[in-house]
Amino acid sequence: MDIKSPKGWGEWLRLYRLYQAAFPTSEKKPFSMIRTMYKKGKSDVWYCMDSGKFAGLVITINGPDKILLDYLAVAKNRRGQGIGSKMLKKMREQYPGKGVFLEIEIVDETAENYEERKRRKQFYLSNGMTPMNVFVELFGVDMELLGFDCQISFDEYHDFYRDNYNAWAADHVKPMRE
């Protein structure tokens, strides 16, 4: 597994297409915002290759001691081959000594995509992430935080958004309503 920053328009286009196809509209930010944060050094965008073929993408938001795994997606034709696990392992190697965390939709039995949510959480848990027992409403979507080698409180999570993203985004981070 190789991960590298995209250089040319072809790589950016491939990442954009996978990003558009892999995530629900309610969880996507404008791709131009991702590119702007990358150009400002606030995030990393990784283009993942496995056995010489495009495998997926990883997008992070970087803090001084913690990394938010903002997006991870495996190319549709590469799913079910252990690519996601390889991507997580390789991504963690990029940030030695830093905690890595992410947000996933809560596993809600009444949700339309309940099975998908359950599989997603199991994937991350089986790859070594642990629940942080922090539940948030992020832009109106109920999320749970999972992490590698770190713990974060709601206040620290809110501050992470304010300090490493922007105040506008932090205003859309709220404790999950009961």
Span 2-166 CATH architecture: 3-Layer(aba) Sandwich (3.40)
- Residues in contact with 9: Cβ distance below 8 Å, sequence separation at least 6, in sequence order: none
Radius of gyration, CA atoms only, the chain: 15
Give the integer Cα–Cα distance in Å for 157 and 132. Answer: 11
Long-range contacts, stretch 3-11, CB < 8 angstroms, 24+ apart:
3/46, 3/47, 3/48, 3/49, 3/58, 3/87, 3/90, 3/91, 3/94, 4/46, 4/47, 4/49, 5/44, 5/45, 5/46, 5/47, 6/45, 6/47, 11/47
What is the pLDDT tens value at each position of the chain, 178 positions in all? 999 999 999 999 999 999 999 988 878 999 999 999 999 999 999 999 999 999 999 999 999 999 999 999 999 999 999 999 999 999 999 999 999 999 999 999 999 999 999 999 999 999 999 999 999 999 888 999 999 989 999 999 999 999 998 888 889 899 987 5
pLDDT of residue 108: 93
pLDDT of residue 27: 82
pLDDT 10s digits, 35-62: 999 999 999 999 999 999 999 999 999 9
Angle at 95 between CA 152 and CA 49, to 5 degrees: 120
pLDDT of residue 39: 95
Farthest-apart Cα atoms in the chain, separation: 47
Query: What tokens were used for 20?
Result: 């558009």
pTM, full prediction: 0.93
Residue 113 backbone dihedrals phi, psi, to 5 degrees: -105, 40
Structural domain boundaries in the chain: 2-166
